[in-house]
Amino acid sequence: MAIMRAGALAGQLSGRVGGVIFSRNRGGDYVRNGPCPVNPSTTYQVMVRNALATASTRWNDVAFTYRSAWEAWAKTNPIQNRLGETIRLQGNAAFVALNSRLVQTGAAVVDTPPIVSSPAGLLTATGSFDIGAGSFQVAYTTTPLAAGMKLWVRGCLFTSPAIMFVKNRLRHFYTSAAAAASPADLQTTFTTWFGAPTVGQTVIFMAAVLDSTNGLLSRELQCRGLVVST
């Protein structure tokens, strides 16, 4: 692995170009060879692809007036890319981004863009990581969630507690019922997606509020801890 210092023309680099991957850690920018991608066709991968395909196909049937509305909505609702820069999606990309979340949760696709802002985030989120007689869950406030709001949780499981950058490991694995009350028991669903956690492993939960009427997400709160058994 080589380290590098981007020049005035290059600025910051992130992502893959051919067989080379540009990234950044606490030591600065670096470049490494990228492995050849594989297609494991995991259950999670298939689910995400199906959700994206469903939303993308639906865009073909959206009326022109609605497409124009999505273009306008995307221009006034920018997102941040991996470099922390503000970018604006095209209308179809915004449509797919929001509706693919709805498809993953079993909700109906919506043809019109949101007319409200993103939902208010959780005030607190506290994780418990006991696979014994204790609890493997997220407790949160405010509880219960408002009508039409669902708890949306991403997570990951790894062995080394020294790992700090986990963005590429996070997977959405849990969505609550609407207006659900705290806490959310996550052990069964987590095990289904990640396998049975073992004592000493590190678990991260990223908890947010999903508006089930339009696919908008609130900011996320992180819960991190070691798996124990009592």
Residue-level pLDDT at 40: 66
Indicate if the pLDDT at residue 84 is higher than 80: no
Indicate if the pLDDT at residue 142 is higher than 80: yes
Indicate if the pLDDT at residue 1 is higher than 60: no
In this predicted model, what pLDDT tens digit does every residue of 171-199 receive, in sequence order? 999 999 999 999 999 999 999 999 999 99
With a CB cutoff of 8 Å and minimum separation 6, the contacts of 70 are 62, 91, 92, 94, 95, 113
Judged on CB neighbours under 10 Å (0-12, 13-18, 19+), 166 is middle
Structural domains in the chain, CATH included, are: 2-33 (no CATH), 43-104 (no CATH), 124-226 (2.60.40)
Indicate if the pLDDT at residue 220 is higher than 90: yes
- Residue keyed to tokens 């005030």: 123
Helices and strands in the chain: count of H runs, count of E runs? 4, 13
For residue 83, the Cα-to-chain-centroid distance in whole angstroms is: 17
In this predicted model, what pLDDT tens digit does every residue of 24-83 receive, in sequence order? 666 666 677 776 666 666 777 788 888 889 999 999 999 999 999 999 999 999 988 766
Token output for 88: 């604006």
Are the C-beta atoms of 228 and 132 separated by less than 8 Å? yes
Residue-level pLDDT at 8: 55
Residue-level pLDDT at 167: 85
Least confident residue range of 75-79, 131-135, 162-166, 190-194:
162-166
Q: Give mean pLDDT, residues 123-133.
A: 97
